[in-house]
């Protein structure tokens, strides 16, 4: 068994398969061995599809012409539909649901000869920032198993960080790809709203949700985006915008971006190590010739309360379909229709999902609609306009991804403290902007810290180029915290 195979990047692995240096079946066996080794502690997967992956690998090995992702064992977040493979959303209400069709992104991955090695754990219905809200079990951070991997795509992030998958798909409604990427030392991209099809993604908040990749490198994320992005007639919100070669964009000449950043008063609540790493990186970029400008984003602090009105409101509507009648869990032995609805949803949903349904239902209720949901929609429009005007003067915006490093399991039982984890990430979803998180530094305890780059809609190329530039510089430095001392 070649254990080194699980250390290769996505591009290194697929190129080895294309050159005939290694077989897809051998790759799958190496990853299944790693899953057997790591899963008892990490618990990244709800379902491991060992037999299916081996069967797919044998077919790929027999193909003369192989796709871009040939033989790559990928993990899929368990709220993305996979035909014939259980898709639970980490909820009792869908515990035994097997979809009859694939999500569009899954079909696109399979068309390029990727392998599905399993479905990953998440906060129930993607509602959470720690993957502790799963109905089945919490996932643990590979960098410290006593800490969370982030959420809601915590299983997808932990699978890649622990070497159980070479890359994965997550979904991002308010930071659910970027925050786990930051906590697990990965690259995680939330694409522009409409850039990637949502067809086959179990809806949380339909105007905010996006599917995106979690990978070990920026170049791997660019490759994944080339495969999954693009118009889909099955998704009415899908944008008919051409998909460029993102990997080609990485190779271009040095671009002199004007970088906007948040001044210290906007990040006063972050931990000292994150603040130090963030400003040291900005200082370094200035020395590299980039112009950096402090931004006066007056509406930034309104994004979090705005999000926690809009997202639960849409969730309360989307989750109304889980009634025990059409599919999913049904409370046994109950024949009164009203009681059946109530008991099914009470037993089937976990505490956080019920909390958000109640919040959203209240915000949409008669007499409160305009005061809460209506006002939040107006603020969302203003936030989007502020970003549009800001991007007239800067090319990208850099922020920390999270206010703190990975926190301990059970540390945030009070919901408001958990919601504050999304402080830097929700604005991109409200405005429909592309945003990436990439590794920025490790703390003295070896815990990952992430940097977020945001850009105007459909400017993923801009994000990828700068992220690739920073990635190379960070990897060439021993310690970002000492950058300020260099001349």
List, edge to edge, every strand of the sheet that includes 45-48. 45-48, 115-120, 73-77, 167-172, 210-215, 187-190, 435-442, 448-454, 396-400, 258-261, 291-294
CA neighbor of 222 nearest in space, from 466, 433, 475: 466
* DSSP element (H, E) containing 459: none
Give pairs for 243-246: CB < 8 Å, separation 24+.
244/461, 246/222, 246/460, 246/461, 246/464
Block residue for tokens 């504050």: 420
Strand partners, 294: 261
Which pair of structure tokens corresponds to residue 465?
């180029």
* DSSP element (H, E) containing 36: helix 24-42
Which pair of structure tokens corresponds to residue 206?
């339909």
Q: DSSP letters of 374-425?
A: IHHHHHHHHHHHHHHHHTTT-SEEEEES-SSSPPBTTS--SHHHHHGGGTTT
Answer yes or no: are the C-beta atoms of 150 and 77 closer than 8 Å.
no
CA neighbor of 161 nearest in space, from 347, 369, 434, 439: 439
Q: Is 487 helix (H, G, I), strand (E, B) or coil?
A: coil
In terms of residues, how long is the chain? 487
Answer yes or no: are the C-beta atoms of 79 and 202 closer than 8 Å.
yes
Strands 187-190 and 210-215: antiparallel
**Widest Cα–Cα separation across the chain:** 76
Catalytic residues: 77, 152, 176
Answer yes or no: are the C-beta atoms of 45 and 35 closer than 8 Å.
yes
Distance CA 300, CA 184 (A): 26
């Amino acid at each position: 068994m070649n254990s080194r195979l699980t250390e290769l990047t996505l591009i290194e692995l697929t190129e080895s398969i294309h050159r005939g240096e290694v077989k897809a079946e051998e790759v799958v066996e190496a990853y299944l061995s790693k899953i057997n080794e790591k899963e008892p502690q990490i618990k990244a997967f709800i379902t491991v599809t060992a037999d299916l992956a081996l069967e797919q690998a044998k077919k790929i090995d027999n193909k003369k012409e192989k796709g871009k992702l040939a033989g790559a064992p990928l993990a899929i977040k368990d709220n993305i539909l996979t035909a014939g493979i259980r898709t639970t959303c980490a909820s009792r209400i869908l515990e035994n649901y097997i979809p009859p069709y694939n999500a569009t992104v899954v079909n696109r991955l399979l068309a390029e000869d990727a392998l599905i090695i399993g479905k990953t754990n998440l906060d129930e219905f993607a509602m959470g920032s720690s993957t502790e809200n799963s109905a089945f079990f919490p996932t643990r951070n590979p960098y410290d198993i006593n800490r969370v991997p982030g959420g809601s795509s915590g299983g997808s992030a932990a699978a890649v960080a622990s070497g159980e998958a070479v890359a994965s798909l997550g979904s991002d409604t308010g930071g659910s790809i970027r925050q786990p990427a930051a906590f697990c030392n990965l690259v995680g991209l939330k694409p522009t709203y409409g850039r990637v099809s949502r067809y086959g993604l179990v809806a949380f908040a339909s105007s905010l949700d996006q599917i995106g990749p979690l990978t070990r490198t920026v170049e791997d994320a660019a490759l994944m985006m080339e495969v999954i992005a693009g118009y889909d007639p099955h998704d009415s919100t899908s944008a008919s915008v051409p998909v460029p070669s993102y990997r080609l964009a990485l190779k271009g000449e040095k671009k002199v971006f004007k970088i906007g950043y948040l001044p210290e008063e906007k990040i006063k609540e972050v931990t000292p190590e994150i603040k130090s790493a963030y400003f040291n990186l900005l200082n370094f970029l200035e020395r590299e010739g980039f112009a950096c400008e402090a931004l006066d984003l007056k509406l930034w602090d309104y994004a979090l309360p705005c999000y926690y009105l809009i997202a639960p409101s849409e969730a309360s509507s989307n989750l109304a379909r889980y009634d025990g009648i059409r599919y999913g869990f049904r409370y046994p032995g109950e024949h009164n229709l009203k009681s059946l609805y109530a008991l099914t949803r009470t037993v089937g949903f976990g505490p956080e999902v019920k909390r958000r349904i109640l919040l959203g239902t209240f915000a949409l209720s008669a007499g409160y609609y305009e005061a809460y949901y209506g006002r939040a929609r107006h603020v969302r429009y203003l936030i989007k306009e502020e970003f549009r005007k800001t991007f007239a003067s800067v090319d990208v915006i850099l922020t920390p991804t999270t206010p703190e490093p990975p926190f301990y399991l059970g540390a945030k039982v009070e919901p408001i403290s958990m919601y504050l984890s999304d402080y830097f990430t929700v604005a991109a979803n409200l405005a429909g902007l592309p945003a990436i998180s990439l590794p920025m530094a490790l703390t003295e305890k070896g815990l990952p810290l992430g940097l977020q780059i945001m850009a105007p809609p459909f400017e993923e190329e801009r994000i990828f180029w700068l992220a690739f530039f920073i990635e190379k510089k960070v990897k060439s430095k021993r310690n970002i915290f000492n950058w300020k001392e260099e001349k």
